[in-house]
Structure 1
Amino acid sequence: MSRADSVSVVIPTYNRAHCIRRAVESALDQSAPPDEVLVIDDGSTDDTESVVKAIESPIVRYVKKKNGGVSAARNLGVDLATGHWIAFLDSDDTWRPTKLELQLRCLSATGSSVCFTGVAAEGGERPDGIAELDPDLPADECRSYPRPVEFIARSLIHPLVVSLMISKDVLIDAGGFDEDMVAAEDTALFYDLTCKHDIALLNTPLVDITTDRVVAGLSDQRNAGAAAARLDCAIRVQAKALGHISGQALHPEERMASMRIVRKRLAYFLSRRSEVAHAMGDHIAGKRLAKEAMSLVGDRRTMARSLMLTFGYRWLVPRLRRKWPSD
């Protein structure tokens, strides 16, 4: 049985030999060192293996698997982890030295099983949503929120997985990361957690994230097929979010306000998916998706776009094919 304060770090990686050592060393250099660091190589074809194996630390475990996506890599790391707590780090990001120590302290103080911290981008921005989730949370303080399903609608962004520390049992109970999703799997997990568990937020940027990519990620692609897959995941997550909100004991006014916000998001993603369908020549699906978007009553821009995609798509197709090429 693992100790109550034991921590396993899971680092999924794919063709990140140029930066994986920096990520691993940031996990090893913690003021409260982890018990193990699991580097899950998702089928890299570069020098990732040799770089990781050159790191002289008895707690670093390198595991190579067939390429299956980041969710599969994270889930394998969770399965192999022996710690009571799981913390995630991406191979192109780094932790600040007190990250694990402050999170363990926050979890102990609040009694929560889930804790997210702030993150800092290269330009100093805070793309973690904490200020929107709780504008009254002072800097450098932590606070726990009982099953905060209202978080789903409070911010366009949410705390990032690279800042997450979570009980292994809670993560397994939540179903882990959905391996069928090529995008928004972290959003899906965050939404699920808000419905079942208290969530602690630590309003301190303890993770430095980078936007520098050597291998293009899905979000960098304009290919119609990749965009369709990404948007399908976003639609699925927002549709599920409506169910989450309607099924929780919120004040009626807050429930209605939250559902309006999520409907607008869902309408937006449906209208963009309609664009891609038209670009790929599937005009029946394009019109159906646009009509679904209009039925949700999105913002004016989304409504206008959906109207054009329903009745005037023939004039839009050349531009949409340039925007979402199939090659």
Structure 2
Amino acid sequence: MSRADTVSVVIPTYNRAHCIRDAIESALHQSAPPHEILVIDDGSTDDTESIVEAIGSPLVRYVRKPNAGVSSARNLGIEMATGHWIAFLDSDDTWRPTKLELQLRCLAATGSAVCFTGAVSEDGERQDGIAELDPHLPADEWRSYPRPVEFIARSLLHPLVVSLMISRKALKDAGGFDEDMVAAEDTALFYDLTCQQDIVLLNIPLVDITRERVVAGLSDHQNAAAAAARLDCAIRVQTKALGHVSGQALPPDETAASIRIVRKRIAYFLSRRSEVAHAAGDHALGRRLAREAISLTGDWRTMVRSAMLAYGYRWMAPRLQRKWPSD
């Protein structure tokens, strides 16, 4: 294996003793074997360490660290990696046997530094957003896109980090994962990469997602504090996205359309954050966020909801407290 073909697999984990063996085995049994597998344990309190050690492969390196979140674990893996390429796998997902081989082929053929593949859930549904980003990309084929900042506005869905293969240099140039974010850190990285790198999409589902994913990272009836933290991250990422689509060399009509789309997203997340603020009793914050949403001119549903949150919040408060409980 040449240096250009070496792949470091980074697996962050936290209390996944029941499934981490399957994840590691799927990386070990690749048709193009990895250079190393770095299991970064973010402070597990279960039997994760003994499960990993029992695998007994010289390719697997177990590293334990204090709990600080998935971004911290991934970033430590990036720092420790010695391969030319880095591929991420979560400890409750698995890869199909040809994933690394096919990605290496695509990257060699294009000279790109970033490749995402398809991913599929247990019920057979695609979870990768590739069809939304390029509806014309045939199944089982790949395509390279030169710095595709237009992807940002095209869909809220995007390929998953667990399908990513990226050069170590490109990942470090992008700054890795934002450790201050409790959610949407993968979206932030994807947006940054669209502005910095050519991206290859390989339209084959090579990742099996074995956990539940919540669309947009949010669901009703979440704990209010947790929902607030996740919504704050969503607002932060979309605000940064607005800068990306405003500052890139897209055709003027496409730039204007992209700006409208991203502004609508920000308005939506601001209105939801307003709901959570009202549910927590912070009505001043709730009103301010709702007014910010109105100023961005989102879709009509967001505008109606925001107007009610700005001016009719007392009537809505009991329902919002049930929707976003404080404990």
- Both proteins in one fold, TM over 0.5: yes
Partner of 1:103: 103
Residue 120 of structure 2 is aligned to residue 120 of structure 1: yes
- Structure 2 CA distance for partners of 1:221 and 1:180, relative to 1, 3 Å: farther
Q: What is the correspondence of 1:225-240 to structure 2 with a 5 Å cutoff?
A: 225-240=225-240
Aligned to 2:280: 280
CA shift for structure 1 position 140: 1.1
How far, CA to CA, are the matches of 2:70 and 2:9 in structure 1? 15
Q: Could you report, residue by residue, the CA deviation over 1:263-308 in whole angstroms, capped at 9, with x for unpaired residues?
A: 1111110000000000111111100100111111111111110000
Q: 2:35, 2:59 within 8 Å by CA — same for their partners in 1?
A: yes
Give CA deviations for 1:164-211 in whole Å, capped at 9, x if unaligned: 000001100100000000000000000000001100100000000022
Q: Once the two structures are superposed, what CA deviation does each residue of 1:43-89 show, in whole Å capped at 9, x if it has no partner?
A: 00000000000002100000000000000000000000000000000
Q: Please state whether the residue corresponding to 1:148 is helix, strand or coil.
A: coil
Structure 1 position 192 matched with structure 2 position 192? yes
Residue type matched to 1:206 in 2? L
How do residues 1-327 of structure 1 correspond to structure 2 at under 5 angstroms?
3-212=3-212, 222-327=222-327
Q: Distance in 1 between matches of 2:156 and 2:234?
A: 12
RMSD of aligned alpha carbons: 1.4
Q: What residue identity is the alignment partner of 1:159?
A: P
Quote the sequence identity (%). 80
The number of residue pairs the alignment matches comes to 323
- Contact 1:10–1:87 (8 Å) recurs in 2: yes
Q: Tell me, what secondary structure is at the counterpart of 1:181? A: coil
Mapped to 1, the partners of 2:142 and 2:127 lie a distance apart of: 18
Mapped contact 2:146–2:197 kept (Cα < 8 A): yes
Amino acid at match of 1:266: I
| TM-score, length-scaled by structure 2 | 0.97
Q: Separation in 1 of the partners of 2:169 and 2:6?
A: 13
**What's the secondary structure of 1:301's corresponding residue?**
helix
Distance of aligned partners of 1:221 and 1:278 in 2 relative to their CA distance in 1, 3 Å threshold? closer
Q: Whole-Å Cα distance in 2 between the matches of residues 273 and 301 of structure 1? A: 15
Partner secondary structure for residue 4 of structure 1:
helix
Residues in 1 aligned to 2:60 and 2:163: alpha-carbon distance in whole angstroms:
20
- In 1: Cα distance, 2:210 partner to 2:17 partner: 15
Q: Contact (CA 8 Å) 2:220, 2:323: kept in 1 or not? A: no
For structure 1, which segment, 251-260 or 217-226, has the greater mean C-alpha deviation from structure 2 after superposition?
217-226
Is contact 2:151-2:194 (8 Å) kept?
yes
Rounded to whole Å, the distance in 2 between the matches of 1:4 and 1:19 is 31
Whether the 8 Å CA contact 2:9–2:38 is kept in 1: the answer is: yes
Cα distance in 2 between the residues matched to 1:5 and 1:177 = 24
Distance change >3 Å, CA 136–CA 212, structure 1 → 2: closer
Q: Which runs of 5+ in 1 are unaligned?
A: none
SS at match of 2:5: coil
Report runs of 4+ in structure 1 exceeding 6 Å deviation: 217-221
Contact 2:147 2:197 in 1 (8 A): yes
The one-letter amino acid paired with 2:166 is I
Q: CA deviation at 1:156?
A: 2.0
What CA deviation, in whole Å up to 9, does each residue of 1:82-130 have, x standing for no partner? 0000000000000000000000000011110000000001111112111
CA distance in 2 between counterparts of 1:220 and 1:54 reads 40
Distance 1:4 1:220, change over 3 A: farther
Amino acid at match of 1:75: N
CA distance in 1, matches of 2:120, 2:241: 27
CA–CA separation in structure 2 for the residues paired with 1:219 and 1:65: 30
Cα distance change of structure 1 residues 104 and 173 upon mapping to structure 2, 3 Å threshold: same
SS where residue 118 of structure 1 aligns?
Answer: strand
Structure 2 residue runs without a partner (length 5+): none
Distance 1:204 1:180 in 2: 32
Residue 221 of structure 1: CA displacement? Answer: 7.2
| Separation in 2, partners of 1:44, 1:157 | 30
- Compute the displacement of 1:219 (Å): 6.6
Question: Take 2:62 and 2:44, find their aligned partners in 1: how far apart are those partners?
Answer: 12
1:218–1:226: 8 Å Cα contact kept in structure 2? no
